[in-house]
């Protein structure tokens, strides 16, 4: 990861259609994102609630700052794709 590339972590679960839209965009852009499934891993769900007071997903953490709305997440990913670390 380059020093100017933000650290990304997506809090999601598979059955969520909004999460699937964000995951599809991540795959299309081929950007590196840590995936944190809140349905499978209780620690992820607990962290999300602790940090935001919400359990709703998707939530993209950008350098540890949460962003919730899927349209906002997709818009941010598209706008910042050039500075994001790509999957090889």
pLDDT at 88: 78
pLDDT (tens digit, 9 = 90+) per residue, 32-74?
999 999 999 999 999 999 999 999 999 999 999 999 999 999 9
Is pLDDT above 50 for 21? yes
- The whole-chain average pLDDT of the chain stands at 95
Q: How many residues appear in the chain?
A: 88
Task: At 35, list the tokens.
Answer: 């995936």
CA distance 26 to 28: 6
The SS3 assignment for 70 reads helix
12, 61 contact by CB (below 8 A): no
Identify the pLDDT of residue 1.
44
What are the residue ranges spanned by the domains of the chain?
Answer: 16-59+71-81
pLDDT for the residue numbered 3 = 57
């Amino acid at each position: 990861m380059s020093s100017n590339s933000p650290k990304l972590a997506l809090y999601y679960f598979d059955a969520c259609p909004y999460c699937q839209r964000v995951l599809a965009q991540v795959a299309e852009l081929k950007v590196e994102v840590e995936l944190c499934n809140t349905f499978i891993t209780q620690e992820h769900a607990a962290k999300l609630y602790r940090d935001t007071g919400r359990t709703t997903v998707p939530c993209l953490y950008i350098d540890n700052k949460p962003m919730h709305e899927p349209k906002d997440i997709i818009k941010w990913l598209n706008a910042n794709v050039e500075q994001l670390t790509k999957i090889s």
